[in-house]
Structure 1
Amino acid sequence: MGEAVLFWVLAAVAVIGALGVVSAPKAVYSAISLAVTMIALAVLYIAQDAPFLGVVQVVVYTGAVMMLFLFVLMLIGVDSSESLVETLRGQRVSAIVVGVGFGVLLIAGIGTVSANGFTGLAQANRNGNVEGLALLLFTKYLWAFELTGALLITAALGAMVLAHRERFERRKTQRELAIERFAPGGHPTTLPNPGVYARHNAVDVPARLPDGRGSELSVSAILQLRPVPGDHGDEPGDGSRELR
């Protein structure tokens, strides 16, 4: 009774998370929904006497892959308008065909197993869950396991090739960079940070130089400069002046 209740509760959570992946308005929400689905599946694995699969599901997929997705989304961001543009012609039709084919294979596999009967967890895990899984992977399903590894390596190499940017100019040497830095109009030292010698840490407030003037170099060119704050009672010409 308890196992059935656990299954229906976790199954509902997994389905709701899967629906959230495809219906969430933002990519971050989709990633979090996918993480919820993976955690629900991990608990189901553990409940079915497969602790190794449950731990791998949490550590590898939820803990590593999903966190990598979230880091990428936070670093580069995803515009909602870009996700609606079909960059590859016919990709939606291909996705539908592949999805239908995968569904047919899944139904055929479940029907075959149902007709021939299940082996049973007690027999499969007679020497332990980890030992039984390793025995199947490296004996009966060794070829499929190796093909999966080759597929993952191919995907990683393809991502590297797609993300590679060809350099069309010769890379400057350290000497050339130093000459440009000390040339007229260059900056031999690093630019001052916003808020230095100031009473505000906003990025549009320029840094104050030792003589009280504001440094225009400390604020990005796309921002509008704000007045440099000064002490009450400062003499005219101190930091209370505004940048022009």
Structure 2
Amino acid sequence: MSLPSTGRRAGVAVLSAALLATLAACGSGDDGRDSAGPGTKLTVLAASSLTDVFATAGAAYENEHPGTEVTFSFAGSQELAAQVRQGAPADALVTADTKTMDGLAADTGKPTVIAKNRLVIAVGEGNPEKVESLTDLAGPALKVVLAAPEVPAGRYSGQILEAQRIDVRPVSQEPNVRAVLSKVGLGEADAGLVYRTDAATATGKVDAIDIPDAQNAIAAYPAATLKSSGDSKAAAAFVSWLSTPEAQKILQDAGFQKP
């Protein structure tokens, strides 16, 4: 038995309304777009010597993890440690030495060394003062700037100068290694001790004088999650990623050594 045309039209209208209602319900969240919630945001406290390379690493990580945003806060490792102790909101920490990280054992997960580094003597472009070795840094007319003793770069500098029995009297002691680099690059100092990777970021402003391995110190960079993280799973994923081949290539392309 066939329905009259008016009945067919009514039936079609009811079915269409039902279909539209179903599609509307699906669009409200069943496709995952509206129900997924906001993206993941990570804050990483990192040593100032990682400033340039972590800009590249962060972009690579975000590309691999759509929806994740990584924000870095750079400072001297001792300043980062103070921030952690004061409860600064962050998810992970990367320092330029194991001593600083070890002092935060109560606040972090188990650290993993992700890279190593070495010191060089940074001098003005063209080396106008003809600095050739650590011994030259003791010259009374040479303006030398170092990182402060509580800064990892300053501690490493003190170790190698003391081991060689070289008495250097810096014109200033800076809160992080990038400040040392800046002083030399601006011509406010004749020479300073910085990491090899820092000097590489200032090509055209400073030259780097290598220090023989037997007279040098190795800087280790440990990374760890912070127990105060609001997203411990995401924090752990980022710290683990820093040891992956892709992350290691980024670090080593920037001049860092293998862990």
TM-score tier, shorter chain, comes to under 0.3
Q: By percentage of residues, which structure has more helix? A: 1
